């Protein structure tokens, strides 16, 4: 996430981790919890749109400086209705902190709850990081002010990352993480952290992510993340999937993983962005080849208005005024066709069932208990698309159907059919 910083620069702040002493032979797979908060965003779709708007309309190049030379940037807060979380130990002795995973942000921070970091190994570098957010409930701006520190992260008892840089929040205004969540762990590209330190010689320096440091310290064999998400149910907290640091879990997908390069120019360098086109059935074009991004913290799959209109026409669905989502009757659902996402010459199929929101969670979207809603939604007409043509977001509703690999080493993303 783009941040603005006020600090005295210390030359060792971004010092590299200790020398590699051991290469781990296998990736590390950890379970994720999916927390479902029935009192989440008042309008889940509008929260998604607010988050998307910040990512699609803002880049590091567009950040503006205020009169006090502070780099100002706002990013959208993740929705608190659906949260994938991972618990790791921070500091010495390790204190368990529950992190919300965010593929659109690169920096990690704690302090979103009453839990405090009491560590003998924590080193503060004198930096103050101030992050601007869009509150997912009120859609207004919130602020999180953090000190920038280095400390150990215990991923599991045998895997401890030393000198991990992260923010420790000490002031939070108009922003709240989901209940039981202590912070955010950024899994976005390291370039997304560029500009976090905006003053002095380190202004263009990136801050290593947790995956970067796991690899640099020889704790994982590859600088790569595998993600397996399970579609939600109506339970309050369920097993939500798995994250694999350093490779993939072959039990979680079928067939082969097909990789495509990440678009690395302009805005696209700051996200897991790639090209895709979308068609409905055999031949109805919904979206021509366009650049967009993956975002686990967007619930829906969002398309630009023209593509959304084409999808609505193809399905015959009607726009539900309460939820803002498309709604289909039982007869319409019976005649729906598959939606194909063509990425790198491979077609990824969303069956009619996979295009629908689970009725057991209709309360989260403010919908009627018996109605059938679709997970393909519009980005909204108020978004001005950048010159990079970054026009879609494949959110959790899409990612939960396909095993996803975020490959930092080769600057690419990969997909396979989830098993």
Kindly report the CA angle at 51 between 49 and 56, in degrees rounded to 5?
85
- The Cα 191–Cα 99 span in angstroms is 21
Active site residue 251: no
- The Cα 339–Cα 357 span in angstroms is 15
* Residue 37: Cβ within 10 Å count: 18
Q: Choosing from 48, 151, 295, 407, which is the catalytic residue?
A: 295
**CB of 222 closer than 8 Å to CB of 149:** no
- The Cα 186–Cα 166 span in angstroms is 10
CA–CA distances in Å: residue 356 to residues 301, 338, 375: 11, 11, 6
**β partners of residue 341:** 278, 348
Active site residue 295: yes
- Please give the span between the terminal C-alpha atoms of the chain, in angstroms, as a whole number: 32
388 CB-near residues (< 8 Å, 6+ apart): 263, 265, 266, 267, 268, 291
Nearest Cα to Cα of residue 82 among 296, 327, 244? 296
Bridging pattern class, strands 318-319 and 326-328: antiparallel
Kindly report the CA angle at 236 between 394 and 339, in degrees rounded to 5?
25
The DSSP line for 195-230 is TSS-SSTTTT-----HHHHHHHTTSSSSSEEEEEEP
Q: Choosing from 102, 151, 182, 407, which is the catalytic residue?
A: 102
**CB of 98 closer than 8 Å to CB of 182:** yes
- Residues shown for the chain: 419
Catalytic residues: 102, 295
């Amino acid at each position: 996430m783009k941040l603005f910083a006020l600090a005295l620069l210390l030359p060792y702040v971004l010092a590299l981790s200790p020398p590699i002493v051991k290469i781990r032979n296998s990736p590390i797979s950890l379970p994720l919890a999916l927390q479902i908060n029935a009192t989440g965003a008042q309008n889940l779709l509008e929260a998604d749109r607010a988050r998307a708007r910040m990512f699609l309309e803002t880049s590091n190049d567009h950040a503006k400086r205020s009169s006090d030379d502070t780099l100002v940037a706002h990013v959208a807060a993740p929705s608190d209705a659906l949260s994938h979380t991972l618990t790791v130990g921070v500091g010495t002795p390790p204190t368990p902190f529950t992190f919300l995973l965010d593929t659109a942000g690169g920096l990690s921070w704690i302090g979103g709850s009453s839990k405090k970091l009491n560590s003998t190994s924590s080193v503060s570098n004198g930096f103050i990081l101030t992050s601007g957010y869009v509150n997912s409930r009120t859609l207004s701006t919130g602020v999180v002010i953090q000190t920038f520190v280095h400390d150990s992260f215990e991923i599991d008892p045998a895997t401890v990352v030393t000198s991990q840089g992260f923010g420790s929040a000490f002031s939070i205004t108009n922003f709240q993480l989901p209940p039981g969540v202590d912070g955010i762990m950024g899994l976005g590209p390291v370039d997304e952290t560029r500009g976090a330190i905006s003053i002095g010689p380190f202004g263009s320096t990136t801050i290593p992510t947790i995956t970067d440091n796991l690899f640099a310290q020889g704790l994982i064999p590859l600088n790569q993340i595998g993600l397996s998400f399970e579609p939600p149910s109506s339970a309050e907290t369920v097993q939500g999937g798995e994250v694999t640091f350093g490779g993939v879990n072959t039990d979680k997908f079928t067939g082969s993983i097909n990789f495509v390069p990440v678009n690395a120019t302009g805005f696209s360098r700051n996200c897991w962005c790639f090209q895709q086109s979308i068609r409905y059935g055999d031949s109805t074009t919904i979206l021509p080849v366009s650049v967009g991004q993956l975002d686990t913290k967007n619930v829906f799959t969002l398309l630009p208005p023209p593509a959304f209109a084409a999808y609505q026409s193809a399905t015959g669905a009607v726009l539900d005024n309460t939820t803002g989502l498309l709604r289909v009757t039982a007869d319409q659902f019976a005649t729906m066709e598959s939606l194909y996402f063509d990425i790198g010459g491979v077609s990824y199929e969303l069956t009619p069932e996979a295009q629908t929101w689970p009725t057991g969670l209709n309360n989260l979207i403010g919908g009627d208990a018996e109605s059938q809603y679709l997970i393909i939604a519009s980005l909204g007409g108020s978004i001005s698309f950048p010159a990079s043509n970054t026009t879609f977001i494949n959110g959790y509703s899409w990612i939960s159907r396909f095993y996803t690999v975020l490959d930092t080493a080769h600057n690419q993303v990969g997909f396979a059919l989830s098993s």
